[in-house]
Amino acid sequence: MGKGYIRNITILLLLFVAYFSTARFGLELNAVSHFATLVWAPTGIAIAAIFLFGFRFWPAITLAAFAVNLVIGARPAVALGIAIGNTLEALLAAYLLKRVIKFDPKMERVKDVFGLILLAAVLSTMVSASIGVTSLFLGHVIASGSFGSTWIAWWVGDLLGAAVVAPLILVWSQHLRPWPSLRQMGEVSAYVLGLLVLSVLIFRVLPLAGIQPFTFLYVVFPVMIWAALRFGQFGSVTATFVVSAASIWGTVTSSNASEIGLSHNLLILQSFMVVAAVTFMIMAAVVAEREKSQKQKQFLAHRAEFLAQQRNRLVALNKAKDEFIALASHQLRTPATIVKMYTGMLRSNYSDELSDDQKELLEIAYQSNEQQLHLVDAMLRVARLDTGKIVLKKENVELAGLIDDILVSFNGSFAARKQSVHFKRPNQAFVTNVDKEKVRMVLENIIDNASKYTPEGKHIDIRLKRRVDGMAVAVQDNGIGIVKKDLRKLFKKFSRIDNPLSTTVNGTGLGLYWANKIVALHKGTIEVISTPDKGSTFTVVLPRDS
């Protein structure tokens, strides 16, 4: 027999005993029509148990409700009907709390309090009252004239159990894990003892002296308010239960309480306790939410301060990195330039003592050095850009003429790749105020990329057009294209797209990053439209007033 099985049996037995004993006690307190009482703690016990332990423990509620009604004289059919109503009440309440509002037993949210009161205390108790009283009526236990008064008594008793007993069990189940410290237990015990003395004074001593206790009901409010503020929901539900228990005991044991007077007094008392329970649970929830909000604000403030410090640190590191790259690139460029000069002299037959093999090796060395210079220049441009050392020297530039100049410089590349370029020069002038050299480099980068990633024999189209947002230079290739997920990588630093040509085409991953930043400095944009295996269109948009 496993531990889980023993645990479940233990819970079933304890739930049965708790339900049966409290039900027996409630039915002895001047029950209306012998079966409906204004004091019904079993509702709160059942709702809390089903919520905390699960729906599978419903048989304990059914058996306890059936047994207690048999004991007080109900016929089996009537007792079964009442038991079914009581069971459905607990199951419905637990279901609504779990599924509708995602109820938290700590009850530190206002919506948890309202959910418990409206769904469990008000709505689900109507199910028990309606089924139970109908069972009494169909079993000829009550007449039709007693239906209403019996239903009210039944519902109010269940309402109090759901509003006072259920919160006590639910909240205590959360606050006893971990077990409170001795200091906390001492403080709570002292408070409970004081509140109990005050309650006994109001509801027991005053009636014995012939003073109506309801005159002094609200004397307990300041003490209960302090409990809600000092101990939160734990203090609120505990104070409500202590006052409720003491007031019921005092009212029932008062020597001057007649049968009719007892029912009247209990009805007034229970109404007061329901209002008090709701009031102080809401107060405790509001305080808890406010404290949580303040803690969250403090956390976010500390987090923001930490992130600001980290940002400043990263900015400083990034600046140091950019400065290092700029310095390193500058130092690398000097020896590379010297190598270029001397290898260039040798390539120009400055020395006629070189063999053909030596000239071939020299050409390889020269081209490798050119690639290194190209990389160093790209890194220097990006470093100057990232450190804010780029200054735009704007002038009026006619874009069509600029494109013509660029295409002339690319004639050799296009011929080597057997590519054709279609550029229809517009009749009207496209003049804009930009940094000519930097815009030229942007367009060269985009046109060169279009050529590199377009297979031999294909063509490239270049178009100039006016748009609402500015002047646009569109470069359309018929190359391999770019898949959608890679488009966001295009303008990132050192980013290269994984495609069949990426291993054969030289590149630094800095060209488009630099181009995009330069265009942004002109308050323009670079747009990309691409379809795999069909080609791409890069459009540089420069504002008219740039």
The tens digit of pLDDT for each residue in 301-313 reads 899 998 988 888 8
On whether both 340 and 430 belong to a single domain, the answer is no
**Residue linked to tokens 């409720």:** 244
Query: How far is C-alpha 116 from the chain's CA centre?
Result: 24
For residues 357-384, give the mean pLDDT: 69
Q: What is the pLDDT of residue 115?
A: 93
What CA–CA distance (Å, rounded) separates 105 from 15? Answer: 19
**Residue linked to tokens 């309801």:** 214
Q: What is the pLDDT of residue 441?
A: 87
| H or E stretch at 473 | strand 470-476
Residue 447 tokens, joined: 């046109």
Q: What is the pLDDT of residue 131?
A: 95
Closest by CA position to 49, among listed 26, 17, 24: 17
Domain count, the chain: 3
Q: Are 399 and 463 in contact (CB under 8 A)?
A: no
What CA–CA distance (Å, rounded) separates 157 from 32? Answer: 11
Tens digits of residue pLDDT in 427-454: 888 888 898 988 898 898 899 888 888 8
For residues 158-185, give the mean pLDDT: 82
Give the model's confidence band at 505: pLDDT under 50 very low, under 70 low, under 90 confident, else very high: low
Average pLDDT along the chain: 82
Query: How far is C-alpha 234 from the chain's CA centre?
Result: 27
**Residue linked to tokens 């310095």:** 327
Whether 155 is in a domain gets the answer: yes
Residue 314 has pLDDT above 70, yes or no: yes
Residue 503 has pLDDT above 50, yes or no: no
Q: Are 149 and 32 in contact (CB under 8 A)?
A: yes
Q: Which of 386, 412, 431 is the last residue of a domain?
A: 386
Q: Are 174 and 106 in contact (CB under 8 A)?
A: yes
CB atoms within 10 A of CB 399: 21
For residues 12-21, give the mean pLDDT: 95
Instruction: Look at the chain and count its residues.
Output: 546
Q: What is the pLDDT of residue 319?
A: 72
On whether both 88 and 148 belong to a single domain, the answer is yes
**Residue linked to tokens 């109820």:** 103
The sign of the torsion formed by the CA atoms of 181, 185, 188, 194 equals: negative
Distant-in-sequence, close-in-space partners of 313: CB < 8 Å, separation ≥ 6: none
Give the model's confidence band at 195: pLDDT under 50 very low, under 70 low, under 90 confident, else very high: confident
HSE-up of residue 48 (Cα within 13 Å, Cβ side):
26
In DSSP terms, which residues pair with 527 in a beta bridge?
539
What CA–CA distance (Å, rounded) separates 475 from 466? Answer: 15
Query: How far is C-alpha 453 from the chain's CA centre?
Result: 44
Whether 295 is in a domain gets the answer: no
What CA–CA distance (Å, rounded) separates 465 from 477? Answer: 17
On whether both 73 and 93 belong to a single domain, the answer is yes
What CA–CA distance (Å, rounded) separates 318 from 379? Answer: 14
| H or E stretch at 113 | helix 110-115
On whether both 112 and 41 belong to a single domain, the answer is yes
Whether 282 is in a domain gets the answer: no
Residue 36 tokens, joined: 């409906």
What order do you get walking across the sheet with 525-531 strand by strand?
420-423, 459-467, 470-476, 535-542, 525-531
Q: What is the pLDDT of residue 180?
A: 62
On whether both 450 and 329 belong to a single domain, the answer is no
Q: Are 283 and 228 in contact (CB under 8 A)?
A: yes
On whether both 474 and 411 belong to a single domain, the answer is yes
In DSSP terms, which residues pair with 535 in a beta bridge?
531
Closest by CA position to 240, among listed 427, 113, 364, 125: 113
For residues 465-491, give the mean pLDDT: 86
Residue 420 tokens, joined: 């054709």
**Strand, helix or coil at 96?**
helix
For residue 274, which amino acid is it? V
Residue 420 has pLDDT above 70, yes or no: yes
What b-and-e string marks burial along 15-33, b requiring 16 or more CB atoms within 10 Å of the CB?
Answer: bbebbbebbeebbebbbbb
On whether both 407 and 537 belong to a single domain, the answer is yes
Q: What is the pLDDT of residue 18?
A: 95
What domain range is 372 assigned to? Answer: 310-386
Phi and psi torsions of 397, nearest 5°: -125, 135
CATH of the domain at 491: 3.30.565.10
Query: How far is C-alpha 427 from the chain's CA centre?
Result: 57
Give the model's confidence band at 62: pLDDT under 50 very low, under 70 low, under 90 confident, else very high: very high
Residue 280 has pLDDT above 80, yes or no: yes
For residues 169-174, give the mean pLDDT: 91
Q: What is the pLDDT of residue 58?
A: 95
**Strand, helix or coil at 303?**
helix
Exposed, middle or buried: residue 441 (CB in 10 Å: 0-12, 13-18, 19+)? middle
On whether both 137 and 1 belong to a single domain, the answer is yes
Residue 497 has pLDDT above 50, yes or no: yes
Closest by CA position to 265, among listed 275, 277, 253: 253
What CA–CA distance (Å, rounded) separates 17 from 64? Answer: 8
Distant-in-sequence, close-in-space partners of 450: CB < 8 Å, separation ≥ 6: 460, 475, 476, 477, 479, 536, 538
Q: Which of 343, 366, 386 is the last residue of a domain?
A: 386
Whether 355 is in a domain gets the answer: yes
Residue 1 has pLDDT above 60, yes or no: no
Residue 508 has pLDDT above 70, yes or no: no
On whether both 482 and 349 belong to a single domain, the answer is no
Distant-in-sequence, close-in-space partners of 81: CB < 8 Å, separation ≥ 6: 131, 132, 134, 135, 138, 139
Whether 101 is in a domain gets the answer: yes
Whether 184 is in a domain gets the answer: no
For residue 190, which amino acid is it? A
On whether both 492 and 350 belong to a single domain, the answer is no
Most confident range (mean pLDDT) of 20-34, 42-56, 195-209, 357-371 is 42-56
On whether both 374 and 499 belong to a single domain, the answer is no
Bigger pLDDT: 479 vs 493: 479
Whether 197 is in a domain gets the answer: no
For residues 353-368, give the mean pLDDT: 72
Q: Which of 364, 386, 408 is the last residue of a domain?
A: 386
For residue 57, which amino acid is it? F
On whether both 326 and 451 belong to a single domain, the answer is no
CB atoms within 10 A of CB 436: 15
How is the chain split among helix, strand and coil, in percent rounded to 5? Answer: 70, 10, 20
What CA–CA distance (Å, rounded) separates 537 from 528? Answer: 6
Whether 399 is in a domain gets the answer: yes
